[in-house]
Amino acid sequence: MWFAIHATDHPDSLARRLAARPEHLARLHALQSEGRLLLAGPFPAIAAEDPGPAGFTGSLIIAEFTTQADAEAWAAADPYVATGVYAQVEIKPFRKTLP
């Protein structure tokens, strides 16, 4: 089943986000290579592709996991959690309808 992982950043976490980004992306690329990633990306703090020092307010990942517990375990092991980028992570089942 698909799960939506919605994470909210701690304020002023841009430096930590940038430092942990290579490890974070490697995990997403692994999901993608397994055919389990629907989409992933950050929420810019301002309406810009590159928000610069304004940074980001969080992330959205929609990926396939066998169970909610598997999705929670995967999200808990994210480098953005370990380095204090994410203040909160919410995981909900997701049913893709369109397209």
Quick one: which of 64, 65, 68, 47 has its CA closest to 56? 47
Question: What φ, ψ does residue 21 adopt, rounded to 5°?
Answer: -55, -45
Strand partners, 42: 59
**1-42+63-86 carries CATH number 3.30.70.1060:** yes
Residue pLDDT, tens place only, 12-23: 999 999 999 999
pLDDT tier for residue 51 given thresholds of 50, 70 and 90: very high
Residue pLDDT, tens place only, 80-91: 999 999 999 999
Residue pLDDT, tens place only, 60-72: 999 999 999 999 9
Delimit the domains of the chain by residue range: 1-42+63-86
Quote the pTM value: 0.96
Average pLDDT over residues 34-43: 98
The CA distances from residue 92 to 5, 17, 22, 37, in Å, are 7, 23, 25, 15
